[in-house]
Amino acid sequence: MYKNIEKQKNLKLKDMVDYQPGQVVSRTLVQNSSVSMTIFSFDKGEEISTHASGGDAMVTVLEGKGRFTVGGEVFILEEGETLIMPKDIPHAVFGEERFKMQLTVSF
């Protein structure tokens, strides 16, 4: 079920993706019909444009600060903060500064 991740090892999720200038970088850890889990890094000013998901999406910021726009409402999240983005509600993600997040989508 898990991929791209070592098992039976103490890990820091934020260390699993590096920052790349001018890019959003992702590393998928789980992908199946029930759940998707991905770690992202965003360079400052980078974004994922508005889209909707077929499942409820939970994001937890692992480092830095990101801006999440969900159904037109803006949320600024910092390290350790979590937000649920409901299924079928348009949302977007923007790097207020360089930041890393964990995304878990439940279908």
Mind listing the pLDDT tens digit for each residue in 30-70? 999 999 999 999 999 999 999 999 999 999 999 999 999 99
- Distance between first and last Cα of the chain: 15
Domains of the chain: 13-106 (2.60.120.10)
Paired sense of beta strands 73-78 and 56-70, if any:
antiparallel
Model confidence pTM above 0.75:
yes
* Confidence category of residue 10, pLDDT binned at 50, 70, 90: very high
